[in-house]
């Protein structure tokens, strides 16, 4: 995930007019359990007796709404210690439910708790484990990456990264063992979009594509990471075998030699990257690549100064910023290009960015999802290919 240093425009989600944005943000500590599923939580004894009156009894009776209301009331009226104790009891009971495989009940508890405490990373990690236990792999991956995007403490980040790697291994092994190659393909497509700077995911994607006999797609995936310092040798070896297979299938000499995907230069901005974008006839604009932003953002000044062609949709969107939700207009750009890659009729949000930055906006996923892309951090290049 790539976010702007010095300010946080954490998850940019848009919705038109009357729609309502929800984002669950989350600190980390959970133990995954993967056995048979059931939903009889009455057999589970709550682990904590009560620093807050009868919270344990309410949890035992599955009166989760009342529990969370107590938590919210404690936050508002009773001070930090009472709210903290209530939170600990909720999370401890959630772990007990997970250990007993009562996934549906703990899902309801955690989802309701995250409405009240949407930046609770521990709760989100537990919810990811619940989705994993329910074999809802896509939701599990989304939720654990969501937690990673909100975790600031380095220890938590290391823990979450480690859990992501082990979770993916667990899921992929399960899918391979059952021959679910299409589901495996979906998994790695999701991973390469959520973490486009982690080259091993592209090896996994190519392997899934090869299992489905989509050799040309596998070739494109491998070319994106063929120059990577960590997996490049493996990618090139796979490409060599694949090139022979493609040549044999199409006739000797019909395939071009393996070539590198040309990269678009990036400018480092702390731990993040800025790329130049443009519109035909307009000037360059500097956009921070933000894979956590669902919509591309431009500042009002950039929109005018770059001479861009656009139309006002007459609609607005809610953007979650460091200063809270902000409603801003949504425009449609005639086109936007990065390198030789262009998207037409691109929706953008128009709002000022905090922190006095010298960037003109954010390049979000509504542009990037049109392509397969790899952010080569070692070479500071954005490599794009056909999706």
Taking only the tens of pLDDT, the chain with its 387 residues reads 343 334 344 443 333 333 333 333 233 344 444 444 445 444 444 443 444 458 999 999 999 999 999 999 988 875 688 899 999 999 999 999 999 999 999 999 999 999 999 889 999 999 999 999 999 999 999 999 999 988 989 999 999 999 999 999 999 999 999 999 999 999 999 999 999 999 999 999 999 999 999 999 999 999 999 999 999 999 999 999 998 877 776 654 444 555 678 899 999 988 789 999 999 877 899 999 998 889 999 999 888 887 889 999 999 999 877 677 889 999 999 999 999 999 999 999 999 887 656 899 999 999 999 999 999 999 999 999 988
Task: For residue 155, give every residue at least 6 positions away whose Cβ sits within 8 Å of its Cβ, in sequence order, or none.
Answer: none
Q: Within 13 Å, how many C-alpha atoms sit on residue 237's CB side?
A: 6
For the chain, list the domains and their CATH numbers. Answer: 41-148 (1.25.40), 263-386 (2.40.70.10)
How remote is the C-alpha of 116 from its chain's centroid?
A: 22
Strand-pair partners of 384: 373
Place of tokens 């991973």: 191
Task: For residue 283, give every residue at least 6 positions away whose Cβ sits within 8 Å of its Cβ, in sequence order, or none.
Answer: 305, 306, 307
What is the spatial distance between Cα 63 and Cα 46, in angstroms, rounded to a whole number?
13
Q: Where are the beta strands (DSSP E) in 184-309?
A: 263-265, 267-269, 272-277, 285-289, 296-298
Strands of 263-265's sheet in order across = 263-265, 381-386, 371-376
How remote is the C-alpha of 282 from its chain's centroid?
A: 32
Task: For residue 239, give every residue at least 6 positions away whose Cβ sits within 8 Å of its Cβ, in sequence order, or none.
Answer: 219, 222, 223, 226, 258
What is the spatial distance between Cα 255 and Cα 68, in angstroms, rounded to a whole number?
62
Tokens of 67: 């529990």
What is the spatial distance between Cα 35 and Cα 38, in angstroms, rounded to a whole number?
10
Tokens of 237: 């070896």
Tokens of 38: 């059931």
Strand-pair partners of 3: none
* Residue 229: CB atoms within 10 Å: 12
Give, in degrees to the nearest 5, the angle at Cα 293 between 288 and 295: 100
Give Rg (Cα) of the chain.
23
Q: What is the value of pTM for the model shown?
A: 0.81
Tokens of 70: 């107590």
CB neighbour burial string for 6-23, b if at least 16 within 10 angstroms, e if fewer: eebbbbbbbbeeeeeeeb
């Amino acid at each position: 995930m790539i976010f702007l240093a010095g300010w946080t425009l954490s998850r940019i989600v848009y919705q038109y007019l009357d729609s309502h944005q929800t984002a669950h943000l989350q600190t980390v500590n959970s133990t995954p359990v993967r056995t048979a599923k059931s939903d009889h939580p009455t057999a589970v004894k709550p682990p904590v007796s009560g620093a807050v009156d009868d919270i344990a009894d309410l949890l035992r009776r599955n009166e989760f709404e009342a529990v969370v209301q107590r938590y919210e009331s404690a936050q508002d009226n009773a001070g930090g210690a009472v709210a903290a104790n209530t939170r600990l009891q909720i999370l401890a009971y959630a772990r007990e439910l997970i250990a007993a495989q009562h996934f549906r009940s703990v899902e309801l508890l955690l989802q309701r708790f995250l409405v009240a405490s949407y930046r609770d990373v521990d709760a989100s990690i537990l919810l990811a484990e619940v989705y994993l236990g329910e074999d809802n792999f896509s939701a599990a991956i989304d939720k654990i990456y969501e937690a990673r995007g909100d975790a600031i403490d380095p220890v938590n980040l290391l823990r979450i990264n480690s859990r992501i790697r082990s979770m993916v291994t667990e899921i992929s092994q399960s899918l391979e063992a059952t021959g679910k190659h299409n589901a495996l393909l979906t998994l790695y497509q999701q991973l390469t979009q959520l973490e486009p700077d982690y080259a091993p995911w592209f090896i996994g994607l190519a392997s899934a594509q090869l299992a489905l006999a989509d050799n040309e797609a596998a070739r494109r995936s491998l070319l994106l990471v063929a120059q990577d310092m960590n997996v490049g040798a493996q990618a090139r070896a796979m490409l060599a075998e694949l090139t022979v297979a493609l040549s044999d299938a199409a006739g000797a000499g019909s395939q071009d030699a393996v070539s590198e995907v040309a990269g678009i230069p990036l400018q480092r901005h702390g731990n993040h990257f800025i790329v130049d974008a443009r519109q035909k006839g307009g000037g360059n604009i500097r956009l921070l690549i933000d894979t956590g932003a669902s919509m591309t953002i431009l500042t009002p000044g950039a929109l005018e100064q770059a001479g861009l062609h656009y139309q006002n949709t007459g609609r607005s969107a809610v953007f979650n910023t460091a200063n809270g939700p902000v409603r801003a207009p949504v425009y449609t750009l005639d086109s936007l290009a990065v390198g030789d890659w262009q998207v037409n009729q691109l929706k953008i949000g128009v709002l000022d960015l905090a922190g006095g930055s010298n960037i003109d906006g954010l390049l979000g996923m509504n542009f990037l999802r049109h392509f397969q892309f790899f952010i080569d951090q070692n070479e500071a290049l954005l490599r794009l290919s056909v999706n």
